[in-house]
């Protein structure tokens, strides 16, 4: 691999409540998953994040979620297909409007939190998200978990997709993310994480939480903006990649 995308979840601050360091992350990553207001983010903060991303030449994606500010979008919801499709349309529309005001465009959609995990294997909710994306802009790319059925479902429905791996999360032997409720699910050591991501880029494999080796075919790597030490992690990954001759570049600019 000669180039790979590095993305982060941004625009998640709300009023006086600050989440992450968007300015610093935008100097490192190549794609920004911008909150749409359903799990986090307020209009002014979202606008500032999009403007900062535009200034840095970072690609912008809509980070759509269940309507769950209290739970930060990490609580599963049994919503109807019609509701979910409408929610996705609404959120993408909001980010498209903000991006237009900043003089840039939205290129992809990445579901957040519980919605991301649910649609990875739930074809009903997955199709509702796909239908929402297609209804507002069928040229948008859907970002999803590498190896998950949602990617094939989206492709079958006519959407382009990009497979994603998580730098700061542990994996099960089956290639799933270890639940945040379990010990060791979130990784914090920048050096260890960078070595893992180099292995992913070079060999397409990762070490699972039980020590086994799993195959992970991903074109984008996420560093969660709300993780402790997120900026240091992202910076070390980028340094390791560039030292190894791997460029950090948005998949939209490949």
What confidence tens digit (pLDDT) does each residue in 122-134 have?
999 999 999 999 9
Torsions phi, psi of 229, nearest 5?
Answer: 75, 20
The fraction of the chain above a pLDDT of 70, given in percent, is 99
Looking at the predicted structure, is the pLDDT value of residue 225 above 90?
A: no
Mean pLDDT for the stretch of residues 167-184 = 92
Record the pTM. Answer: 0.95
pLDDT of residue 93: 98
Rounded to the nearest angstrom, the gap between the alpha carbon of residue 86 and the centroid of all alpha carbons in its chain is 21
Tokens of 163: 């497979």
Looking at the predicted structure, is the pLDDT value of residue 224 above 90?
A: no
pLDDT of residue 78: 95
pLDDT confidence band for 157 (50 / 70 / 90): very high
Looking at the predicted structure, is the pLDDT value of residue 24 above 90?
A: yes
**Residues in contact with 24: Cβ distance below 8 Å, sequence separation at least 6, in sequence order:** 231
Looking at the predicted structure, is the pLDDT value of residue 1 above 80?
A: no
pLDDT per position as a tens digit, 57-80: 999 999 999 999 999 999 999 999
pLDDT of residue 126: 98
Looking at the predicted structure, is the pLDDT value of residue 194 above 80?
A: yes
* Mean pLDDT value across the chain: 96
* Structural contact between residues 106 and 140, judged by C-beta atoms closer than 8 angstroms: yes
């Amino acid at each position: 691999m000669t180039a790979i995308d590095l993305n982060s979840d941004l625009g998640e601050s709300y009023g006086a409540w600050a989440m992450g360091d968007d300015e610093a992350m935008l100097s490192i990553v190549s794609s920004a998953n911008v909150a749409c207001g359903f799990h986090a983010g307020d209009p002014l903060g979202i606008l500032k994040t999009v403007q900062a991303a535009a200034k840095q030449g970072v690609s912008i994606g809509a980070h759509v979620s269940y309507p769950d500010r209290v739970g930060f979008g990490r609580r599963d919801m049994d919503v109807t297909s019609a509701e979910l499709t409408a929610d996705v349309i609404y959120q993408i529309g909001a980010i498209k409007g903000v991006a237009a005001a900043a003089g840039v465009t939205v290129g992809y959609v990445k579901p957040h939190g519980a919605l991301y995990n649910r649609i990875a294997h739930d074809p009903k909710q997955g199709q509702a998200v796909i239908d929402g994306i297609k209804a507002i802009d069928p040229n948008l790319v859907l970002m999803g978990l590498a190896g998950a059925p949602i990617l094939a479902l989206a492709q079958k429905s006519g959407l382009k997709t990009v497979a994603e791996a998580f730098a700061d999360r542990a994996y099960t032997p089956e290639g799933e993310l270890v639940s945040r409720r379990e010990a060791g699910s979130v990784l914090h050591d920048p050096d260890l994480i960078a070595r893992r991501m180099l292995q992913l880029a070079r060999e397409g494999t990762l070490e699972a939480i039980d020590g086994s080796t799993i195959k992970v075919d991903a074109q984008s790597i996420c560093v969660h903006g709300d993780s402790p030490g997120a900026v240091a992690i992202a910076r070390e990954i980028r340094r390791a990649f560039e030292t190894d001759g791997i460029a950090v570049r948005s998949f939209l600019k490949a």
